Amino acid sequence: MKIILDTNEYLFGLDRESGEEASVKLLNVVRLMIEDIKDFKLLLPEIIREEVQRNIPQQLEKDFYNLIYSSEKIEHHPMMDVPMKLFNKYRNEKELKEGDALIAAFAEFMKVDYLISENRHIYKNLKIKEFATVNASEFLKILEEG
């Protein structure tokens, strides 16, 4: 299984006091999946890493870096390999904003199973089969049922 966590999942999930409960649970589950599931990968495109770095409260920076560098199953990726054709598909045909289009193109290019975001409304009308977009609660429910 390959997943991408959108910026908000890191920001909400690392803030155990005032963050979103589902996002906190999600990061805990992701940590377990990294340890326990052989074929699990968490992909971290540079656009998301940079957005987290710009927005994360200083007191959570250490937790973020400890998480993203904790395992070889967390893959860091530049965006320059994403084909322009895929970016244009999401930017022009699907009418996503530039950053969202780049993340969606990356998700398709890397053949991820899930893009997990609390801003799922951005991706809900894509009507694509290449990957699923869910929020933290929905992903946790999928894991429970699976």
Instruction: Walk across the sheet containing 132-134 and list its strands.
Output: 74-77, 41-45, 2-5, 114-116, 132-134
Q: What is the pLDDT of residues 36-82, one digit of tens each?
A: 999 999 999 999 999 999 999 999 999 999 999 999 999 999 999 99
Say if CB 60 and CB 15 are below 8 A apart: yes
Residue 27: closest CA among 58, 61, 67: 67
Is residue 123 pLDDT above 80, yes or no? no
> Which residue is listed with tokens 């975001």?
117
Name the residue ranges covered by the structural domains of the chain. 2-145
Question: What pLDDT sits at residue 119?
Answer: 84
Residue 17: closest CA among 50, 59, 52: 59
Average pLDDT score over the chain: 94
> Which residue is listed with tokens 């920076």?
61
> Which residue is listed with tokens 């946790």?
140
Question: What pLDDT sits at residue 114?
Answer: 96
* CATH class, range 2-145: alpha beta
Which has more confidence, 66 or 119? 66
Q: What's at 6, amino acid-wise?
A: D
Question: What pLDDT sits at residue 60?
Answer: 96
Question: What pLDDT sits at residue 18?
Answer: 75
SS3 content of the chain, % helix, strand, coil (to 5): 55, 15, 30
How many other β-carbons are positioned within 10 Å of the β-carbon of residue 139? 24
Say if CB 79 and CB 46 are below 8 A apart: yes
Q: Which two tokens stand for residue 8?
A: 């908000």
